[in-house]
């Protein structure tokens, strides 16, 4: 499964060494912030899960208990720098709760909500009192958000989900593609859902990367479904010459996951059982 | 520490040899496995060009250090017929059907720096480079 | 270096073991086409797991194999393209469009079986039991 890279991409203009150090420092501050505000952030997350009508198969106490576990694991993953622990947990989580009637998209949804809760909290914290160094801090914020935002999730057999949020620059896009392709191979994935709901804008460079990712995934035998395509990004893709009718797109992540599950035969009986013998 | 390797290109086994040596050099320079593959592919295209159009030539592989950057430099030289219109050769969309083409646009896409000097009747020199930032 | 070609029922499986020169690739193409005709194979699998680079010549050859096999009634699947090789290929602009690909040998065989089944269903027409 994809692991978060240890080396942070260094912005071209800055001294790489100093940037690495300040990113590490920011991460430490971030972890401290998340630990300090553990109670209220977990509560907010659990609240938003309920408001979004996710995990309806679980009681509020159960939701809060799961939220606590995942939250603590998440902070630990940030601290130690590996997302493997979190992904392993997410996989266990889905294996435990899916038999109880919880849908795949709900699991993904709650992880995305956590990221959103943490991202907002982070923006909130750094907004106060850093007026002079706004530029630098914003750049570092974005780096931290990126650190938070892109593990490749496997919540079903042979189905990978890559939710992308925040700012994607060419270097990050490249890392994502490499991570995804490795994950396809490791997990023998047949379908990949790439969700770009959280991506505000995409220049033609990054749009090209997206197309390349779809094509490279196909070479590994996987079908890619792109979800959350905004009209603006659709326009960018058309401008760089992408034939959208060739790219499988679905409006939202939930729809994309349902389509993926259909392709994988989860909701429909496998062909072998339905085909009448000649 | 810079290293330089010369690979003569006279037969198609040399194409394989050049790209394997290129991969090894890139590995020594600390390039990721993905980048090693990319560099090897670019070398393969350029080496095949030499064979197809000039029948013989040579490829020089070098690693360099430039500040905090490590790089691989590939220089492909031949004394073949040359390319009459370099700009056009670089432009021709490498058809996605992988049709016959000089492979130059493709190799250029893969590498960071790319330069072609060619004189019809005299020969061609292709210089391409890939860089990586050295991490602490 | 010759690429070993196995006959497995109606399928031919070519497993590339190491780096191939252009001449080796051409030879593989000839060998496969000859055998497809000889055995009236229904499917061809080319396993490229061991290739650490796939450049324009390799892609062109694979495409030729698929095209010629199809003319003789056989489906071709390329399996085992490594993640990094796939990435380099798309950056080079090589997409193997029109050629089926699968993750590995197992998936490739499953794909060919599915194709064969669908083909025989089409030939036999609808089953009245539905």
| List of domains in chain B | 3-133 (3.30.565.10)
On whether any CB of chain B is under 8 Å from the CB of C86, the answer is no
- Residue C84 confidence (pLDDT) above 60: yes
Residue A207 is predicted with a pLDDT of 86
**Separation of alpha carbons B132 and B135, rounded Å:** 9
Over range B108-117, report the average pLDDT.
Answer: 93
Cα-Cα-Cα-Cα torsion A83, A85, A91, A92, nearest 10 degrees, comes to -160
Query: Is pTM, for the whole model, over 0.95?
Result: no
Nearest CA in chain A to C85: A216
Please report how the helices A16-36 and A60-80 are oriented relative to each other, as an axis angle in degrees rounded to 10: 150
- Answer for the pair A185, A220: CB distance below 8 angstroms, yes or no: yes
On whether any CB of chain B is under 8 Å from the CB of C110, the answer is no
To the nearest whole Å, the CA of B36 is away from the closest chain A CA by 13
Residue C41 is predicted with a pLDDT of 96
The 10s digit of each residue's pLDDT in B81-102 is 998 888 878 875 544 334 445 5
* Higher pLDDT among residues C40 and B133, named by residue: C40
The answer to whether B133 contacts A17, with C-beta atoms less than 8 Å apart, is no
Q: Which residues of chain A make contact with C87, given a CB cutoff of 8 A?
A: 177-178, 181, 212, 216
The answer to whether C82 contacts A185, with C-beta atoms less than 8 Å apart, is yes
- Answer for the pair C26, C61: CB distance below 8 angstroms, yes or no: yes
Q: Which residues of chain A make contact with C112, given a CB cutoff of 8 A?
A: none
Residue A87 is predicted with a pLDDT of 62
The 10s digit of each residue's pLDDT in B21-47 is 999 999 999 999 999 999 999 999 999
Over range C53-72, report the average pLDDT.
Answer: 94
On whether any CB of chain A is under 8 Å from the CB of B2, the answer is no
- Residue C49 confidence (pLDDT) above 70: yes
Cβ atoms within 10 A of the Cβ of C19, count? 18
Nearest CA in chain B to A181: B34
To the nearest whole Å, the CA of A106 is away from the closest chain B CA by 34
Of A9-23, B51-65, C83-97, give the lowest mean pLDDT range: A9-23
Please work out, in degrees rounded to the nearest 5, the angle formed at the alpha carbon of residue A74 by the alpha carbons of A73 and A79: 95
The answer to whether C101 contacts A271, with C-beta atoms less than 8 Å apart, is no
Domain ranges across chain A: 9-148, 150-267
The answer to whether A181 contacts C86, with C-beta atoms less than 8 Å apart, is yes
Cβ atoms within 10 A of the Cβ of B74, count? 26
Point out the residues of chain A with pLDDT beneath 50: 1-14, 129-133, 148-149, 268-278
Burial of A140 (0-12, 13-18, 19+ CB in 10 A): buried
- Residue B128 confidence (pLDDT) above 80: yes
To the nearest whole Å, the CA of B136 is away from the closest chain A CA by 7
Please state the ipTM of this predicted complex: 0.90
Residues A150-267, CATH architecture: 2-Layer Sandwich (3.30)
Q: Which fold has domain C5-124?
A: Transcription Regulator spoIIAA (3.30.750)
**Separation of alpha carbons B60 and B51, rounded Å:** 15
Distances C28 to A44, A122, C1 between C-alpha atoms, Å: 62, 58, 10
Q: Number of CB pairs < 8 Å for B and C?
A: 77
Residue A71 is predicted with a pLDDT of 80
Share of chain B above pLDDT 70, in %: 88
**Separation of alpha carbons C57 and C1, rounded Å:** 17
**Separation of alpha carbons B118 and B110, rounded Å:** 21
The answer to whether B133 contacts A16, with C-beta atoms less than 8 Å apart, is yes
């Amino acid at each position: 499964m994809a692991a978060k890279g240890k080396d942070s991409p260094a912005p071209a203009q800055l001294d790489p060494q100093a940037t690495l150090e300040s990113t590490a420092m920011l991460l430490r501050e971030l972890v401290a912030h998340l630990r300090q505000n553990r109670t209220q952030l977990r509560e907010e997350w659990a609240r938003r899960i309920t408001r979004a009508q996710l995990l309806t198969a679980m009681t509020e106490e159960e939701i809060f208990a799961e939220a606590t576990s995942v939250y603590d694991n998440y902070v630990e993953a940030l601290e130690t720098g590996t997302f493997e622990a979190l992904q392993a947990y997410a996989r266990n989580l889905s294996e435990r709760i899916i038999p109880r009637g919880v849908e795949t998209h709900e699991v993904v949804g709650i992880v995305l909500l956590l990221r959103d809760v943490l991202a907002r909290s982070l923006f909130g914290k750094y907004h106060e009192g850093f007026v002079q160094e706004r530029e630098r801090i914003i750049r570092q914020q974005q780096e931290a958000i990126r650190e938070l935002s892109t593990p490749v999730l496997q919540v079903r057999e042979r189905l990978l989900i890559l939710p992308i949020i925040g700012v994607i620059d060419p270097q990050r896009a490249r890392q994502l593609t490499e991570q995804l392709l490795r994950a396809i191979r490791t997990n023998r994935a047949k379908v990949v859902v790439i969700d770009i709901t959280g991506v505000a804008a995409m220049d033609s460079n990054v749009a090209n990367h997206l197309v390349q990712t779809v094509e490279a995934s196909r070479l590994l035998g996987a079908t890619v479904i792109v979800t959350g395509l905004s009209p603006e990004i659709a326009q960018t893709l058309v401008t760089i010459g992408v034939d959208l009718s060739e790219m499988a797109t679905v409006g939202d992540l939930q729809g994309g996951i349902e389509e993926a599950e259909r392709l994988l035969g989860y909701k429909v009986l496998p062909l072998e059982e339905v085909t009448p013998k000649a | 520490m810079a290293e330089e390797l010369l690979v003569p290109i006279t037969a198609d086994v040399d194409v394989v040899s050049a790209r394997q040596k290129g991969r090894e050099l890139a590995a020594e320079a600390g390039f990721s496995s993905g980048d090693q593959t990319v560099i090897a592919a670019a070398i393969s295209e350029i080496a095949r060009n030499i064979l197809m159009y000039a029948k013989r030539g040579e490829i020089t592989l070098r690693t360099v250090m430039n500040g905090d950057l490590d790089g691989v430099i590939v220089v492909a030289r031949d004394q073949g017929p040359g390319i009459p219109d370099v700009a056009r050769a670089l432009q021709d969309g490498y058809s996605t059907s992988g049709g016959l083409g000089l492979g130059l646009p493709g190799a250029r896409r893969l590498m960071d720096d790319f330069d072609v000097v060619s004189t019809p009747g005299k020969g061609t020199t292709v210089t391409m480079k890939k860089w990586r930032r050295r991490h602490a | 270096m010759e690429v070993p070609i196995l006959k497995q029922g109606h399928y031919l499986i070519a497993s590339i073991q190491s780096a191939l020169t252009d001449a080796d690739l051409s030879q593989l193409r000839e060998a496969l086409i000859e055998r497809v005709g000889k055995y009236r194979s229904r499917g061809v699998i080319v396993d490229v797991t061991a290739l650490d680079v796939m450049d324009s010549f390799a892609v062109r050859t694979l495409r030729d194999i698929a095209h010629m096999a199809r003319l003789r009634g056989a489906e071709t699947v390329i399996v085992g393209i490594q993640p990094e090789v796939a990435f380099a290929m798309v950056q080079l602009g090589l997409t193997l469009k029109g050629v089926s690909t699968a993750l590995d040998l197992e998936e490739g065989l499953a794909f060919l079986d599915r194709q064969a089944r669908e083909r025989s269903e089409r030939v036999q027409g609808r089953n009245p039991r539905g």
